[in-house]
Structure formats: structure tokens, C-alpha cells
Amino acid sequence: MRFSCARCRHYLEKTAPLMAARFGEWVTLEEIEPRLVCSKCGNKAGNFISYGLPEK
């Protein structure tokens, strides 16, 4: 799962497993998304566009 900021479209290079590891436990997408903060514009919780990995 990849995320882009809905405000500035900055791509956040964090996958769900990496985010889970950062917070010390396995967490679901619903738990991860509110914790995201854009490193470019500071946009916070709930304002991200998530993308599934492309089909092969």
C-alpha cells in the first residue's frame, strides 16, 4: 500500500508493513492512515490517497 498527500500530492514512501514496524506492532490500514503526516507540507490525518500495488 502506498500513500500520497491529498493536498500537495507528495508521495509518502511508507508501506503498510514498514509503518507497522515503526509503531512496534502489526496494525491495519485503518489504524495507519490517521497517523500519517506529510513530510513536505505537514498535512495530517485522514487527508491521504492510498494506492494498492499494481496488478502483475
**Residue 17 within any structural domain of the chain:** yes
Per-residue confidence (pLDDT) for residue 28, from 0 to 100: 62
**Residue 56 within any structural domain of the chain:** no
What cell was used for 12? 509518502
Are 2 and 48 a contacting pair, CB within 8 Å?
Answer: no
Per-residue confidence (pLDDT) for residue 48, from 0 to 100: 72
Q: Are strands 48-51 and 11-12 parallel, antiparallel or unpaired?
A: unpaired
Domain count for the chain, please give it.
1
Per-residue confidence (pLDDT) for residue 56, from 0 to 100: 45
**Residue 34 within any structural domain of the chain:** yes
Per-residue confidence (pLDDT) for residue 37, from 0 to 100: 80
**Residue 23 within any structural domain of the chain:** yes
Tens digits of per-residue pLDDT, 1-56?
Answer: 567 888 888 877 655 555 555 555 555 666 666 777 887 888 876 677 776 655 54
Tell me, what amino acid is at 49? Answer: I
Identify the domain containing residue 13 by its residue range.
2-51
**Residue 15 within any structural domain of the chain:** yes
